[in-house]
């Protein structure tokens, strides 16, 4: 999903790596799933390609078939 976001934004790995302060090699590993991104890395990546992280998470949840948790009401 990350590669799709980057490519749809028209950004190369080299350009994105420069934008987010990492190497092209590390970015490639991240996109291929060789290394896992922590939340800060994911947010940085999505910001670098101009993609809303909330939309990304919703798409990810839908893709893996995990039901969205029901929002709890604060009313008692």
CATH number of the domain residue 20 falls in: 1.10.260.40
Summarised one tens digit per residue, pLDDT across range 19-61 is 999 999 999 999 999 999 899 999 999 999 999 999 999 999 8
Q: Which two tokens stand for residue 46?
A: 């999505």
Question: What's the number of CA atoms in the CB half-sphere (13 Å) around residue 52?
Answer: 4
Residue 69 lies in a domain: no
pLDDT of residue 76: 56
Residue 72 lies in a domain: no
Tokens 């028209």, located at residue? 10
pLDDT of residue 51: 96
Neighbouring residues of 42: CB distance < 8 A, sequence distance ≥ 6: 53, 56
Full residue range of the structural domain in which residue 52 is found = 2-64
Residue 71 lies in a domain: no
pLDDT of residue 68: 61
Residue 17 lies in a domain: yes
Residue 30 lies in a domain: yes
Q: Provide the domain count of the chain.
A: 1
CB 17 within 8 A of CB 24: yes
Residue 73 lies in a domain: no
Residue with the bigger pLDDT between 73 and 44: it is: 44
Q: Is pLDDT of 17 > 70?
A: yes
Q: Is pLDDT of 72 > 80?
A: no
Residue 29 lies in a domain: yes
């Amino acid at each position: 999903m990350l590669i799709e976001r980057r490519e749809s934004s028209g950004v190369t790995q080299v350009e994105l790596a420069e934008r987010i302060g990492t190497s092209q090699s590390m970015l490639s590993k991240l996109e291929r799933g060789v290394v896992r991104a922590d939340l800060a890395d994911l947010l940085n990546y999505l910001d670098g390609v101009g993609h809303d992280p909330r939309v990304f998470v919703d798409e990810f949840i839908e893709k893996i078939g995990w039901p969205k948790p029901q929002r709890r009401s604060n009313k008692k």
